[in-house]
Structure 1
Amino acid sequence: MHKALRHGLENEHGSPTIRRPAFMITRNYQVLEKLVESRLQHVIASMGDWAKNQAEWRSFGLTSQAQLDREVGLFRMVLGKSFALAVEEGKTRRAENPLFWNLRNAFIRSDSIGLDRELKYAFQTFLMRSRFPKAVNELHMALADLRFPYEWYPATRMLQRTIHLHVGPTNSGKTYNALQALEKARTGIYAGPLRLLAHEIWNRFTAKKKPCALVTGEEVRIPTDADTWFHSCTVEMTPMNARVDVAVIDEIQMIASEDRGWAWTQAFLGVQAKEVHLCGEERVVPLIQDLCARIGEECIVHRYQRLNPLNVMDESLKGKFSNLQKGDAVVAFSRVSLHQLKAGIEKETGRRCAIVYGNLPPETRASQAALFNNPNNEYDYLVASDAIGMGLNLEIKRVVFEASYKFDGVTFRPLTVPEIKQIGGRAGRFRTATRETAGDTSQPSPGLVTTLDEEDLDLIRAAFGKEAPPIPTAGLFPPPAVIERFHSYFPPRTPISFVLARLREMSRLSPRFHMCDFTNAMDIAEIIKQYDLSVSDRCVFLNVPMNLRDPRQVEALRAFAKCVAEMGSGHLLDFPEIDLEVLDLARPTAPSQQVEYLHRLESLHQAITMYLWLSYRYQGVFQSQGLAFKVKELVEAKIADHLEKLSFVEEQQRSKRRRMRKLAARSERKERNLLAIDEELLPPHDEGAGQWAEEGHEEPLFDGEVAAERPPAAAAAATAADAKV
């Protein structure tokens, strides 16, 4: 059954504007319906029968197993009607068939895991259909009215701000001009998408003897010898209660991100600055102008042109490092790939290769950039993550894409047009600090863009010939105050994951906003639901930076939640769930053991990151902050040492790229197939660099190949169901 659906999804589709025949769509929806039926059995079983899980079932109004069975039967009828609307009447839009829309999109985004999750919350919502009197339902609707998010910031609305919108392509000087305004101010804020950018601005201000605080999710440095100071922060940490002269919000197009867009919306609507300078792409202009008109603030648009030409080459490197040229930057999307490429380039060319990615310590990153920018040494090449698309000062002559696809945390997918332009646009920087210091005022050569493999070049070339459509909406996520009040009108012991699902379904939004993805928040809520936490504490944990696919991190999260609930010891060494033992292990020699060793180091690093993030929010509980920073440094050194010893095997890497390219194409065809009749597409792919797994961004250590190639749980379950039949 699942195999048939996969086969339907993987048929070639061609242009997105060409619709598939209706009978093919109908067939795939019918197969999807059978898959939903089989997954529902699994979901109900996982929730436990009435006798074993009475407390939770009673919170949904069920008092016996017979009543539960009856409700399951009724829900099956509702599912049948939903699919009948899609198959027989072609009603698949969210407004006319929301249950089908949610199930289909959950399957597209996250396969069986997403489908199971959506079925669970849909069933819980169905159970609650008659639990509330009309007056309470009306109150729920009022609380879920999120059409006017600018009213969440009354102090800001009392100001008369001026919005300066700096837009243009990469290497056009837009961020430079915004930062000039910030430097001339008496007080101000810089908010950017990456920790590395927050560090760079912090270094820039402190070097000029301007007091500046650094505030990211896991690190806070406040000046001790000044009464007032600038703030340099990741956008999630933008201070909403500080009145300043100037605020700069970088990469404003990320307001469209499905995961992090809410942070840009919050910063834009809430920052208390006389002047707000937004830097980003031209396609965000209509949205920002409309939002400014709604809040009655002046919007001044500053448009910039690229300072030098940018050309896509006619040929790739044919997979050969021998075709590299001095000044080339090879871009990859995981730290393992970066280090393997570095090893291969140095072995093949006999020249040195610098390496730059966001998770490097700031000092190391700066020294590597300096080595690459210096024309008088043996560092001819650079390997870098897509973080270079976010403003690093590098003397790149040509950008070489290792691949035209990336792992987004769920699946492989092709790079989007904005991502390709953002990264490729770093070629041929107009004037770097190195050239300015040397007094070089000559006009630079055009920037060049190409790929490592010929198979990827057409997609990259096509992207530079397209204009991305205007950004239609800004991301929103309900603030804690809304969640807490909404939760207060539900029966005791109602899982907060269900409350979030209910709020998501009932929310009313303005046409200029979209709801950001609730998936991680609902999963975290499920993980910690057994602990006696206040709703306020639960809302804090909803945003904790972690990888939910890693069982070690899930166990660490449970331990941290239990510690807060019981007000226990929060000393780092009191958590056996934190895998400190890996620090005592020597680097294994067997390749299979090396992968597991690296996974353990990465899990420990992210667990420590979680601990530090929580230490700023529960200072009286998680008290080993100093020790945590020390352990973090040790783990980073271990990871760096391991990565530097990786080898490059050409045929293995070529084969790996072929497999990943196929997975990306499969994912794209799957999405197009199930959306082919609709114009109402899935929420947008994330804007910008990396996986965006946490505040401030970390490049993923692995590229997701291992996880993506495992047989999906849905396939296994469907195969088992077919065998029973």
Structure 2
Amino acid sequence: MRVAKPLSTVCMCHAASCMSFVLVPLRLRIFTFAAISPFLLSHQCASERGANGLIDRIKYAFYNHVTSARFTPSDIRNQKALADLRYPTEWYPATRTVHRTIHLHVGPTNSGKTYHALQRLEQAKTGVYAGPLRLLAHEVYTRLNAKGKECMLVTGEEKRAPNDSLTSDLTSCTVEMMPLNKDVDVAVIDEIQMIGNAERGWAWTQAVLGVKAREVHLCGETRTVPLIRELCASIGEKLVVHEYERLSPLQMADKSLQGNLKKLRKGDCIVSFSVMGIHALRKQIEQTTGRKVATVYGSLPPETRAQQARLFNDPDNDYDFLVASDAIGMGLNLSIKRVIFESSSKFDGFRQRTLAVPDIKQIAGRAGRYKSAYQANKAAEEAAAQSLAEAKGESEPGKEHITEAPAEPSKPEDSTLGLVTTLEDFDFPVIAKAMKEEPEPIRSAGLFPPAPILERFASYFPPGTPFSYILMRLHELSQMHSRFHLCGLRDQLWIADLIEPIQGLTTTDRNILCACPASKSDKELISRLMPAFARCIEQQSGGALYDIAEMPLEVLELDMSPSRDYLRQLEQLHKAIVAYLWLSYRFAGIFSTRPLAFHVKGLVEERIETVLHQFSFTENQRRKIKAAREKSLMEDFRRELMLEDEKEDVTAGGDEFAGETDLEIMDPAERLASEDVATMQEQTMGSDVAEDVPPKAGSDEQTSPTGSTDVPEIDVIRSNTSEVDEVNLAHDIATTDRSKREE
């Protein structure tokens, strides 16, 4: 008797049988296989770029071929209905019952927009702050608690509550962890321009549409105004736009430092894009100048980061310079006089890529302060002490309700002038050009379907259907409004295939595991670790840290050495612990040794810091890195010229695909140089900007019509002026949405 194979096995066999045929003459067959399904060209964002992304799309075509015969017409209709994502505002019916006012604070860096929003949060009885980085969430958490406002910290891998309480009226969190079911007075959502991000934009969209706050304060760049205006129109909510101007002047220096570290001045910040590069540069600066250097980057423990910032901000010590990652562009309170770019390019997971104009302007904008961060911190400490004294009844008579602040000068002083330059000559024109350009408006917001939609969608597939195919199928069938885009899957497809052999997992289990902060850049470790985590969930046991054989705890028994291999092992253990902690908050009964995991994480971070402090680049390594960066700049310049020549003949989809294949066209020498830099860039304990979890679909609200008929309003408020423009919002947008829904 012949036993039927599971659907996933059949699909895998079909796909595997053709992979060798596809991969050998890969470039010759790209367009042949692209014809298998429109998904291969129209939904490239669903998976990776380059060869790996092509494999995902080819595999999807085989899955589609095998499963299409099993779908009934009713199944296909139901799949298409659930993949209709044109009205995400209806995913949050409880929020639609709240009468909200949206305040959009826009302006350049160092204009005080986030400061004003946080002032309103401090005045509220209940509220929440959501930022893009753990370090920003921790900074707001520390600030509020220092002022006597009990605040809770919530990130993907950590939760802290004041005085060991389980809840708090104020919460500071990463944007992915924004509580959508909690009624609050004020919500502050920082760096709102990231709503257009291709991978994490869904989290900002979810926060804006779903947070149940009477006042929602959005802080970010001016280019977000048209999109936020449309979003508010579609849900019938009032929008108030607060426009700010920069509080101190900013200008480009006349020339670079020409590679000479002796030209550094007190208050300089050198921006580097890898942790190893940061520490190597720190060591070289200290040897060259004889002065101390502070370091700040996203993966530093919060307490260490705060200490390093204080050392740099204090003018009365000998920490003259700061070497930092691009995390400084996201609002850290640092007293920087001049920003120096070590490089104008950054490794993006595939190759060295020139920094985008918005990123350059945001990092550069940290130069120059209206008042020094040291003064601001001292003022905050004095305000906190005054609040504590008032609580004890010790304040001076007659001054209980008086807050004194120095008058703001009408013109910025010369001491607050911010300068921007580069370390090397060849980067200078790139940064100078970007400083003169205006970024394009953000035209669409990211989306990722919530868990209930994904789970219902999966229910229309035969048992044993690969979860990665279900994810790609949802992307193929999805219908989107022009103001939204579907965020990519990237590592989720890979993780879904890793855990596919584990049979006892539910769709919810697989969805959560695919959102775990695990990257394909650590392929060897994650290939072992994710199936081990999945087996623990399947068996509902064996989740203690010391019971997971795949957890590389043996690294702690090795002697410390300043070698790249040892550093790589430490960082792999650190990432494994972070993934364990993330899962411990979602499967608390299985991954039960969270205190031990935090202890091990602390030990690993101490060792990493010790090892990094001993690192330095040889002159040969620096020459290789410099050559690779110069080649990447030339490659980008060549690509820009090609795109300009072919602009009239290439469609948007074909252009993107051409760019992907072009990445693979490298001569052997260039490929080796890129791999050398890639190895150094990947040894960074993760990206600072995308350091939180990948897209995790899910919210507790069920989909239902809103029935909103309110006519929204816009107020435009410009700082330092009395002019207020009251504008009726584009009522046609809301009317159009409703008429489409009725059709």
Q: What amino acid sits opposite 1:186 in the alignment?
A: K
Question: Contact 1:412–1:708 at 8 Å: present in 2 too?
Answer: no
Shift of residue 360, structure 1, vs aligned partner:
1.6
- Take 1:71 and 1:523, find their aligned partners in 2: how far apart are those partners? 16
Cα separation, 2, equivalents of 1:661 and 1:101: 33
Following superposition of structure 1 onto structure 2, how do residues 328-347 of structure 1 map, counting pairs within 5 Å?
A: 328-347=268-287
| TM-score in terms of structure 2 length | 0.78
Whether the 8 Å CA contact 1:102–1:118 is kept in 2: the answer is: no
Question: Could you tell me which amino acid in structure 1 is paired with residue 146 of structure 2?
Answer: A
SS of 2:339 mapped into structure 1: strand
Q: Which residue of 1 aligns with 2:83?
A: 144
Q: Deviations over 1:49-91 (max 9, x none)?
A: xx9994336766x9x98x9999999xxxxx99994899xxxxx
- 2:547 matches 1:598: no
Give the superposition deviation at 1:527: 0.8
Counterpart check, 1:384 vs 2:357: no
Contact 1:428 1:445 in 2 (8 A): yes
Counterpart in 2 of 1:615?
584
Name stretches of at least 5 consecutive residues in structure 1 with no aligned partner. Answer: 1-50, 74-78, 87-91, 686-701, 710-725
CA distance in 2, matches of 1:566, 1:102: 36
**Aligned mates of 2:561, 2:16 — CA distance in 1:** 52
- In 1, Cα distance between the equivalents of 2:195 and 2:302? 26
Of residues 508, 512, 527, the one that matches 1:554 is 527
Residue 171 of structure 1: aligned partner: 110
Worse overlay, 291-300 or 545-554: 545-554
* 1:407 paired residue number: 347
Deviation of residue 221 (structure 1)? 1.4
Q: Do the aligned partners of 1:406 and 1:703 also contact (CA within 8 Å) in 2?
A: no
Which amino acid counterpart does residue 218 of structure 2 have in structure 1? Answer: L
Letter in 2 for 1:471: I
Counterpart amino acid of 1:605?
Answer: H
What SS does the corresponding residue of 1:372 show, helix, strand or coil? Answer: helix
Q: What's 2:239 paired with?
A: 299
Q: Which runs of structure 2 are paired with 1:42-191 in the superposition (5 Å)?
A: 54-56=5-7, 83=31, 98-102=39-43, 110-191=49-130
Unaligned runs of 5+ in 2: 22-26, 380-405, 660-675, 684-743
Q: 1:529 maps to what in 2? A: 500
Aligned with 1:624 (options 593, 614, 626): 593
The residue aligned with 1:327 is 267
Secondary structure of 2:520's partner? coil
Q: Per the alignment, do residues 447 and 495 of structure 1 end up closer, same or farther by CA in structure 2, a change over 3 Å counting?
A: same
Q: Match of 2:549? A: 576
Query: Alpha-carbon deviation of 1:523?
Result: 1.2
Contact 1:401 1:451 in 2 (8 A): yes
For the 8 Å contact 1:211–1:226, the answer to whether it is kept is no
Distance (whole Å) between structure 2 residues aligned to residue 186 and residue 682 of structure 1: 48
- Cα pair 1:553 1:603 within 8 Å, conserved: no
Deviation string 1:428-484 (CA, Å, 9 cap, x unpaired) is 021134234487977233100000111011110111111111101000111111111
Question: How far 1:556 moved relative to its partner?
Answer: 1.4
Shift of 1:652: 2.7
Distance 1:338 1:68 in 2: 42
1:642 to 601, 611, 614: 611
Whole-angstrom CA distance in 1 between matches of 2:677 and 2:147 = 39
Conserved 8 A contact 1:246-1:274? yes
Corresponding residue of 1:200: 139
Cα drift, residue 209 of structure 1? 1.4
1:413 touches 1:665 (CA, 8 Å); kept in 2?
no
Counterpart of 2:314 (choices 354, 374, 385) is 374
Decide which of 205, 209, 219 is 1:265's aligned counterpart: 205
Report deviation, 1:110. 2.8
Partner residue of 2:511?
539
Per-residue CA shift, 1:292-349, capped at 9, x if unaligned? Answer: 0000000110011111111111211101101111111000011100000000000011
Say whether the 8 Å CA contact 1:197–1:391 is kept in structure 2.
yes
For 2:18 and 2:201, the matched residues in 1 are separated by 41
Residues 523-555 of structure 1: per-residue CA shift (max 9 Å, x gap): 111111111201111111111001222111331
Contact 1:356–1:365 at 8 Å: present in 2 too? yes
Residues of 2 paired with 1:521 and 1:300: CA distance? 38
Equivalent position to 2:370, from 430, 438, 441: 430
Aligned twin of 1:488: 459
Question: Paired residue for 1:704, among 678, 696, 700?
Answer: 678
Q: Report what 1:694 is aligned to.
A: none
Q: 1:634 to 1:665 in 2, by over 3 A?
A: farther
Say if 1:495 and 1:427 are closer, same or farther in 2 by CA, change over 3 A: same
User: Residue 36 of structure 1 aligns with which residue?
Assistant: none
1:250-309 per-residue CA deviation (whole Å, 9 max, x = no partner) reads: 000001111111100100100000000000000010000000000000011001111111
Query: Is the Cα–Cα contact under 8 Å of residues 85 and 480 in structure 2 kept in the other structure?
Result: yes
> What CA deviation, in whole Å up to 9, does each residue of 1:484-506 have, x standing for no partner?
11111111100010011100000
Distance 1:382 1:99 in 2: 45
Whichever residue aligns with residue 211 of structure 1, its letter is E
Q: How many residues align?
A: 622
CA contact (8 A) 2:152 2:168 kept: no
| Alignment deviations for residues 103-158 of structure 1 (CA, whole Å, 9 cap, x no partner) | 6x789x63211211221112212333333222221111101001111111000001
> Deviations along 1:154-179, whole A, 9 cap, x unmatched?
00001110000000000000000100
Give, in angstroms, the shift of residue 351 of structure 1: 0.9
- Contact residue 273 and residue 681 of structure 2 kept, 8 A: no
Identity, in percent, stands at 49
CA RMSD of aligned residues (A): 3.2
> For the Cα contact (< 8 Å) 1:247–1:276, is it kept in 2?
yes
CA distance in 1, matches of 2:433, 2:681: 30
Amino acid at match of 1:385: S
Deviates more, 1:545-554 or 1:207-216: 545-554
Counterpart pick for 2:621 among 652, 657, 668: 652
Distance 1:615 1:668 in 2: 46
Which digits, 9 at most, give the CA deviation of each residue in 1:179-206, with x for residues without a partner? 0111111100000001011111111111
Distance in 1 of aligned mates of 2:33 and 2:305: 55
Q: Secondary structure at the match of 2:149?
A: coil
Q: What letter is aligned with 1:423?
A: I
- Whether the 8 Å CA contact 2:40–2:58 is kept in 1: the answer is no
Superposed CA deviations along residues 574-600 of structure 1, whole A, max 9, x for unmatched, are: 1121111111211236xxxx1111111
Query: TM-score, with normalisation over the residues of structure 1?
Result: 0.80
Deviates more, 1:652-661 or 1:476-485: 652-661
Determine the C-alpha separation between the residues in 1 that align with 2:227 and 2:617. 46
Deviates most, 281-290 or 520-529: 520-529
Q: Which residue does the alignment assign to 2:540?
A: 567
**Aligned-pair CA distance for 1:651:** 4.9
1:42: which partner in 2?
A: none
Are positions 1:235 and 2:235 aligned together? Answer: no
Give the CA deviation at 1:236: 0.4
Query: Whole-Å Cα distance in 1 between the matches of residues 625 and 219 of structure 2?
Result: 37
- Alpha-carbon separation, structure 1, partners of 2:7 and 2:483: 37
Offset at 1:569?
Answer: 1.5
CA distance in 2, matches of 1:504, 1:142: 13
Match of 1:365 in 2: 305
* Aligned-partner residue type, residue 71 of structure 2: F
CA distance 1:562–1:660, shift in 2 (3 Å): farther
SS at match of 1:704: helix
Residue 670 of structure 2 is matched in structure 1 by: none
| CA distance in structure 1 between the aligned counterparts of 2:372 and 2:584, rounded to whole angstroms | 38
How far is 1:648 from its partner? Answer: 4.0
Mapped to 1, the partners of 2:8 and 2:99 lie a distance apart of 51
d(CA) in 2 for partners of 1:70 and 1:553? 26
CA contact (8 A) 1:343 1:648 kept: no
| CA positional deviation for 1:672 | 8.0
Counterpart for residue 397 of structure 2: none
CA distance in 1, matches of 2:441, 2:587: 41
